[in-house]
C-alpha cells in the first residue's frame, strides 16, 4: 500500500512511487514466513537474496526481535526505551542515500514476568539511529561517525565521569553501533596505558537465534575478551567466519571503571572481514589517559593533590594508606618519581 501525499505516484506494488510512503505495520513486517536472515543482506549496496534462504521456525517468537526479560525490567524511574527501524534499498544506496535510513522513536514499557508490551510514546526522530537518543538524554555524551573501508558507517558514543566517593577512579561507557558495514567489527581498543588499576569491566552484545547465520546455524555468542590495555576482541575471520563480530544494524556496549582520568584520543576498531586497511579510528573521544598529577579528578594538579600524595608517600600496593590514584608511574609504590610527575604538572 502506498500513500502519504496528494501527489503520490504509486507504482506496481513492488517499487515505492515518488512522494509515497510505505504504510507497513508491525503485523505485516513481523510475519514470520516472510522474514529472512540479516546476514544475506549487504547493507552498503542494498543487495539481498530473494526469496531468502529461511531456516525452519516454530512458535511465536522465532525470527522476530527478542530481548532478555531482565533488560526489560526498569531499574529506575529515569529509564528510557526506544525502538529503531532501518530500511535497506539498492536504488537508494546507488543514489548515495544509504546512510540516513535509520530512525528511532521512544516507547513506553509495561508488564511483568513473561508478558511485556511496548507502546509508542513520542515522535519519530527521522534519519538518525537510536544511539543518538543517548546523547539527547545526556549532553555530556559524545558521538562520532566513522566510515569503514567498504563505505559503511559506524556510530561511536562515549561518556566519562568520575566515580562518586572513589578518588581517582573514572567510569567509561562506550557504545559502538554498526549502522551498515558489511565488513563488521572484531575489536575495540579504548587505549590507555598498560597495567591500569581496573576496578570493573563490562561488555554487552546481542543473542543470535532462529538460525541467524550461514547454514542456518547461529553466529557465535561468546563474549569478547579484554586485555589490561582495554582492547576487547573476538575471533578473527580466519579463525571463525561465524564469530561474534559486530554486524550491521547492531550495537555493542563496552564499559570500565579504572583509576585513570580521561584524555581525548582516537579509539581504534578492528575490521572483521579481510580488508585494507584492517582497522579504522574515531575522532578524539574520552579514554583513560596517563595520569598528570590530578588525584581527585577535578581537572587540575594542585595543593589538594599534593596533600593526597604526601599522605600516601612511601606506601606500596596492599599497604594501608596506599592510593592507586597517586601512583602516576604505575610501579606499585608511591615515591619520588610520582612526586616529580605531580610537580611537573602542578597548576595545570
Q: What is the pLDDT of residue 136?
A: 96
Is residue 96's pLDDT more than 90? no
Q: What is the pLDDT of residue 297?
A: 63
Q: What is the pLDDT of residue 160?
A: 96
What is residue 269's three-state secondary structure?
A: strand
Mean pLDDT of 42-59: 89
Is residue 194's pLDDT more than 60? no
Instruction: Please report which confidence band the pLDDT of residue 301 belongs to, taking 50, 70 and 90 as the band edges.
Output: confident
Q: For residue 285, which of 109, 112, 160 has the smallest C-alpha distance?
A: 160
Report DSSP letters for 190-223, one per residue: ----SS--EEEEEEE-----TT-SGGG-PPP-PP
Q: What is the pLDDT of residue 27?
A: 77
Percent of the chain with pLDDT over 70: 94
Mean pLDDT of 324-346: 83
Contact 332, 316 (CB under 8 A): yes
Is residue 282's pLDDT more than 90? yes
Q: How many CB atoms lie within 10 A of CB 246?
A: 23
Pairing between strand 225-226 and 268-271? unpaired
Q: What are the sequence ranges of the domains in the chain?
A: 2-30, 69-288, 303-345
Mean pLDDT of 232-259: 96
Q: What is the pLDDT of residue 256?
A: 95
Is residue 1's pLDDT more than 60? no
Is residue 331's pLDDT more than 60? yes
What grid cell was written down for 240? 571463525
pLDDT tens for residues 130-184?
Answer: 999 999 999 999 999 999 999 999 999 999 999 998 877 899 999 999 999 999 9
- Name the residue with cell 543470535: 208
Mean pLDDT of 47-56: 87
Angle at 312 between CA 309 and CA 313, to 5 degrees: 80
CATH number of 303-345: 1.10.1330.10
Is residue 15's pLDDT more than 90? no
Mean pLDDT of 306-313: 95
Instruction: Please report which confidence band the pLDDT of residue 4 belongs to, taking 50, 70 and 90 as the band edges.
Output: low
**Candidate CATH numbers 1.10.4160, 1.10.10, 2.60.40, 3.40.50; the one for domain 69-288:** 2.60.40
Instruction: Please report which confidence band the pLDDT of residue 214 belongs to, taking 50, 70 and 90 as the band edges.
Output: very high
Mean pLDDT of 319-348: 84
Amino acid at each position: 500500500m502506498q500513500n502519504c501525499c496528494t501527489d503520490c505516484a504509486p507504482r506496481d506494488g513492488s517499487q515505492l512511487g515518488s512522494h509515497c510512503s510505505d504504510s507497513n505495520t508491525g503485523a505485516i513486517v513481523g510475519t514470520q514466513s516472510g522474514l529472512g536472515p540479516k546476514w544475506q543482506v549487504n547493507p552498503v549496496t542494498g543487495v539481498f537474496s530473494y526469496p531468502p534462504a529461511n531456516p525452519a521456525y516454530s512458535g511465536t517468537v522465532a525470527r522476530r526481535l527478542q530481548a532478555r526479560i531482565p533488560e526489560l525490567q526498569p531499574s529506575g524511574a529515569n529509564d528510557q526505551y526506544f525502538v529503531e527501524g532501518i530500511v535497506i534499498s539498492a536504488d537508494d544506496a546507488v543514489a548515495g542515500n544509504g546512510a540516513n535510513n535509520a530512525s528511532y522513536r521512544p516507547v513506553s514499557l509495561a508488564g511483568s514476568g513473561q508478558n511485556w508490551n511496548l507502546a509508542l510514546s513520542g515522535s519519530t526522530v527521522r534519519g538518525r539511529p537510536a544511539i543518538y537518543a543517548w546523547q539527547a538524554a545526556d549532553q555530556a555524551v559524545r558521538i562520532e561517525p566513522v566510515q569503514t573501508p567498504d563505505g559503511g558507517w559506524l556510530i561511536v558514543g562515549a561518556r566519562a565521569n568520575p566515580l562518586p566517593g572513589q578518588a581517582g577512579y573514572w567510569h567509561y561507557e562506550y557504545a559502538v553501533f554498526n549502522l551498515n558495514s558489511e565488513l563488521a567489527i572484531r575489536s575495540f581498543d579504548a587505549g590507555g596505558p598498560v597495567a591500569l588499576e581496573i576496578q570493573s569491566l563490562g561488555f554487552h552484545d546481542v543473542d543470535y537465534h532462529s538460525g541467524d547465520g550461514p547454514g542456518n546455524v547461529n553466529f557465535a555468542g561468546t563474549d569478547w575478551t579484554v586485555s589490561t590495555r582495554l582492547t576487547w576482541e573476538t575471533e578473527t575471520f580466519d579463525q571463525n567466519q561465524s564469530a561474534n563480530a559486530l554486524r550491521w544494524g547492531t550495537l555493542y556496549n563496552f564499559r570500565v571503571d579504572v583509576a585513570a582520568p580521561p584524555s581525548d584520543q582516537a579509539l581504534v576498531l578492528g575490521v572483521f572481514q579481510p580488508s585494507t586497511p584492517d582497522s579504522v579510528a574515531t575522532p578524539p573521544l574520552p579514554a583513560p589517559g596517563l595520569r598528570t598529577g590530578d588525584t581527585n579528578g577535578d581537572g587540575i594538579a594542585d595543593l589538594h593533590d599534593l596533600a593526597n600524595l604526601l599522605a600516601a608517600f612511601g606506601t606500596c600496593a596492599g599497604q594501608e594508606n596506599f592510593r592507586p590514584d597517586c601512583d602516576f608511574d604505575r610501579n606499585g609504590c608511591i615515591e619520588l618519581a610520582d612526586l616529580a610527575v605531580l610537580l611537573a604538572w602542578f597548576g595545570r
